[in-house]
Amino acid sequence: MASGSAIRGTRVGSGPIRPAERCEPAPRRPVTYWCANGHSVVPLFAVDAPPPKVWDCPKCGLPAGQDEQNPPAPPHTEPYKTHLAYVKERRSDEDGAAILAEALAQLRQRRGQ
């Protein structure tokens, strides 16, 4: 059962919970970003700091831009490639046939055929 302490969760001697009581926050301005799915997000930035051109949408993860009519396109992700796909990019079919023939010749030589 909980005790009747009104300061539960705070440290004895700690400062005020709200920072507004101690200091004034830096001046901020809202900047609206839109993603390709039509979501909008409004983060706050310092007045003297330039806002980034692209911001990640917290709802869908797509990049969001400041132009509502022309949001950034979703990033194109390359599909997963197997080791064989990378080998086929580096070698032609003729190279593969020559390497296979060489490997078969070495295997037959080791077996004594």
The confidence score (pLDDT) of residue 96 equals 87
pLDDT in tens, 45-70: 999 999 999 999 999 999 999 999 99
The pLDDT of residue 13: 63
pTM, full prediction:
0.53
The CA-atom distances, in angstroms, between 107 and each of 7, 34, 57, 93, 111 are 80, 62, 57, 21, 6
CA dist., res. 6 & res. 14, Å (int):
14
